[in-house]
Chain A
Amino acid sequence: MVARLRAVLRLLSLQASYTYERLQGVGMAVAQAPLLAPLATQDPARAREARGRSGQYFNAHPFLAGIAVGAQSRAELDGQPGDRILRLRTALSGPLGALGDQLFWAGVVPALMGLALMASALGQGIPVLFGLLLGYNLVRVYVTDWGVRLGLRNGLNVATDLSHSLLRPAAGAAGAVAGLIIGAAIPWVAWWLLGGAGRSGQLVLMIVAVAIVVGVLTRQRPLSAPGVTLGAAALTLVWRWTT
């Protein structure tokens, strides 16, 4: 229990030692260390091998990496062959990355920010924002702990349990919900920010319409919005200084 909680706490800083060579590998080794501690007294040679394996290349969504930490630790404690453990690590990397990116980065985060933007437009930004912040962080810690528990329970068979979890359907639905919320937020935020800046309704509509056209036209070849904005601002300054 204490070892699991220490692993969860360490997983909250998984990416501090991120490198382009091993990505989250070192962070994984740090998170796994409390779970591997019993091996050090039972079988010091095996513990050393396990520590060596735990620092190898790994990349997944940081919130779901706990599944791999738990599963690999269980396999090490059960004395599974090292090559099978490394294969598990490699096999989990891609799916946990894709699933987490879809669920959190492309789903939950934009959805919550869209809600917070709409609440801000309605004058309720601060309380809603901090409510969402609290809820999100509780879920973030819970998901990390759930992942470690799932991995520890299943070891090398974790993929089977994972495929029956709610993660996959949730990831699919999260993107659609995020699209709906962001779509709904666009008119409200335009009304709040552009209207609040004293712009007429016609100009607000025109800016949003242009943004939609540009968004559609550049869907395949995205442009750098900050770059374009800074360029347009430079042109605006030149225009203002020369007139």
Chain B
Amino acid sequence: MSDLPIVPLAAWAIITGLDLASILQGLLNRPLVAGAVAGGILGDPQSGLVVGAALELFALDVLPVGSSRYPDYGAATVAAVVYAVGSGQPWAMALGPAVLLGLVLGQLGGLAIVVHRRVNARALARWAEALDRGDPGVAARLHLIGLGSDASRCAVLAAAGLGASLLLLRFLRVDAATGEALTIVALAGGFVALVGGAMRRAGTPRRMIWVGGGMALGLLSLWLR
């Protein structure tokens, strides 16, 4: 991993973090997208897609509504892909530890959002009177502080994520049986999140029929393949 393309990976991790809430919200933060691109940067988009898909199962349980706290899977997915590709193990073994790393980093990313919003709040408290008076340029200044604060948050997360994956690649030794067991645990957790999220989003029993119908269609098409 000495030839790891750190700069493009860090840049991509920062972009995905900014996309979560601050700029565009154009799906770049989704684990499936973040993982595929990170895999592409590492020359293995397929592995990136597999890691991204596993983390996407968890992300589909999240509704980023209002001011609720939600995980940030952008930089977390990039770090998980770096671990999975860098380990050189078959993905049945590497996927579990990679997804678990992504889950921990995703939660840390969520906590970092709270810190970023507090930074915004402190700036707002300082300029609130001028903003309410309608002084020109105040809102733009506060907005730039917010953008800078979130970019810093994303940079810290990118550094922490890439640092953590490199440390694990250097020091973590997982035998085949443990790796495979962790992969099963991570995927089982992902399916609990996916199914639970789909049912909660459906809400009413009538709406749940759509989920059940989809599942029946999926099973039928899989059987007929």
Contacts and interface: CB of A to CB of B under 8 A. Distances in A.
B103 A226 contact: yes
B211 A180 contact: yes
A1 interface: no
A80 interface: no
Contacts of A154: none
A175 B46 CA distance: 30
B5 interface: no
A229 B66 contact: no
B147 interface: yes
Nearest to A26: B142
Given A26-B139, A197-B91, A140 B26 contact: yes
B186 A207 contact: no
Nearest to A40: B136
B191 A59 contact: no
Given A15-B21, A30-B143, A228-B192, A52 B132 contact: yes
A240 interface: yes
Interface string A148-184: 0000000000000000000000000001111111111
15 contacts: A18-B21, A19-B121, A30-B143, A48-B135, A51-B139, A101-B63, A126-B49, A184-B215, A186-B194, A222-B196, A225-B58, A225-B192, A225-B193, A226-B189, A230-B100
Interface of A: 12-13, 15-23, 26-27, 29-30, 33, 40, 47-56, 59, 62-63, 97, 101, 105-106, 109-110, 112-114, 116-118, 120, 125-126, 129, 132-133, 136-137, 140, 175-194, 196-199, 203, 207-208, 210-212, 214-216, 218-219, 222-223, 225-226, 228-230, 232-233, 236-237, 240
* Top 4 A-B pairs, shortest CB-CB distance: A183-B214, A229-B189, A17-B146, A225-B193
